[in-house]
Amino acid sequence: MLYKLQKEGYSAYLVGGCVRDLLLGREPKDFDVVTNADPEEIKKVFRNCRLIGRRFRLAHVHFGREVIEVATFRGPAESKNDEKQVLNNEGRLLRDNVYGTIEEDVWRRDFTVNALYYNIKDFSVVDYVDGMTDHKAAQLKLIGDPETRFREDPVRMIRAVRFAVKLGFNIDHDCEVAMHKVADLLSSIPSARLYDEAIKLFLSGYALQTFEMLRHYGLFQVLFPATEQSLAVEENGYPKQLLIKALENSDNRIADGKTVTAYFLFAAFLWESVQTSAKHKVSRGVPEYVAYQDAANEVIAQQVKSTALPRHITLAMREVWSLQAKFNARYGSKPSRLITHPRFRAGYDFLCLRAETGGVDPELAEWWGKYQEASENDQRKMTQPPRKSTGAKSPRKRGYRPRAKKTTPGSDV
C-alpha cells in the first residue's frame, strides 16, 4: 500500500501504535497508514476501498478479512468558525476534517510515542515531538497541554490507562494532574463508544491492572457507576472479592490462549448491585424470583445509560444471573433439565466464582461439579431425595383381621 501510494505520486508513512510496538519488539495487531492524499484520492488508488466516518473521514482498504486504515494528514483549523472542525461548548471535537502536512499532522496526535512515522523511502523513523526519548523512557506524554487535549476528546484518558497497562509505561505527571481534574468529562462521551472502549480495556489480558488504574483516576465510576457504588460498601471489614477474582480469571484465560466472554465479566461487575436491589425488594414482600428479575431489569437499564451494553450481552447476563437460584434444586428431574441449558457452563462457572469468594456454600458448587462428571446411573442416585424416617410402625393393610385363637375345652379364655 505504501509503495502504491508513492508510485501514484503521494507520500505515505506507517504511523502510531504499529511503529511504537515494532520498536518494542512486539507484533502489531494492525497497521495504520497516513498520506497526503485526501480520502477521495485514496479511493481512486484502491478499488477495494471504503470511506467511513463523519467525525474523522477515513479510508478502509480491504484485503480479504484484513483492513488497513488510511488517514489523510490533518492540519490546524483556519478559524474557529471552520465548518471542517467543530467543537462543543466543553471543547470536545465533534468533527475534524481539516487536512494539512505531516509537520502539521503530528501536532494533532495524542501521545508522543504514538506520533512516530516510519518512512519506507529510507527506512527511518521520523520524530517531530521527541517521541523516541519518551519511548525509551517508557513514558506516556501528551502532545500539547494535557487538559486541553483531554477536553478535545475525553476518551484519551481511557487510552492513557490502556496504553500504560499494556506497555508497562508510566503516565506523565502533567497528564495525571489533568486526568484527576477532568475525569467527569468522560460522561459526555456517547455510551456506545464507551462500550467499545470497555471491551478493549477488559478483554485484552490486563483487566485487573486496568480496573485498579481506572479507579485510581476516577474513571471507572463513569463507566460502571453502580459497580463503583457497590464496591464502596464493605462486608466484615473486607471489600468484595468477586469482581477481583473475575478479572484475574479473565486475564489467566487470555494468557492460556483460551476465550473469554464479555457478558460473563460484565455479569460479575453488576452482580452485587442486582443482589442488593433484589434483597431490598424481597424485604418489602416481593417474591424472590420476581425480585431478582425486576432488579436485573433496573440495574441494566441504568448501566446502558453509561456504557451501552448490546442486547445480546445483557440477555446472556440475565441468563447467568437467573441460573444461580436454580442451582439450589438438586433433587428430582430439575438437575437433568438444568444441565442442558445453553448457558449452563457459564452459570456453573459463575457459581464457582461465588463459592470461591464466599457468596455461596462451596459444597453446592462441588455437588454440581460431581454431577456433571457422574454417569447417568449415578446422576439418578444423586438426585434422589433423602428418605424421611419417622420411627413409627408401618400401618396395617386395609381389610386385615387377626385370626381367632383356637381353644380347647376347659381352658381359660
Which residues are the active-site residues? 30, 32, 110
Cell of 164: 500504560
- CA-CA-CA-CA dihedral for 253, 255, 256, 260, to nearest 10: 30
Asked whether the CA dihedral 130, 135, 138, 142 is positive or negative, the reply is positive
Cell matching residue 81: 468558525
Neighbouring C-beta atoms of residue 192, cutoff 10 Å: 12
Q: How far is CA 108 from the centre of its chain?
A: 29
CB 266 within 8 A of CB 315: no
Q: Partners of 93 in the beta sheet?
A: 87
Query: CB of 265 within 8 A of CB of 353?
Result: no
Distances (CA, A) of 140 to 25, 135, 183, 202: 18, 8, 17, 20
What is the C-alpha end-to-end distance of the chain, expressed in Å? 119
Distance CA 261, CA 220 (A): 20
DSSP letter string over 178-206?
A: HHHHHGGGGGGS-HHHHHHHHHHHHSSS-
- Maximum alpha-carbon separation in the chain: 139
Nearest to 363 by CA among 376, 347, 351: 351
Taking a C-beta distance cutoff of 8 angstroms, is the pair 125, 116 a contact?
yes
The identity of residue 202, as a single letter, is F
Please give the single-letter amino acid code of residue 37. A
* Alpha-carbon gap, residue 124 to 300, rounded angstroms: 50
Residue identified by cell 479510508 is 59
Cell numbers describing residue 226: 453502580
Helices assigned H by DSSP within 258-374 = 262-283, 288-306, 311-326, 334-338, 344-356, 362-373
Count of C-beta atoms within a 10 Å radius of residue 83: 10
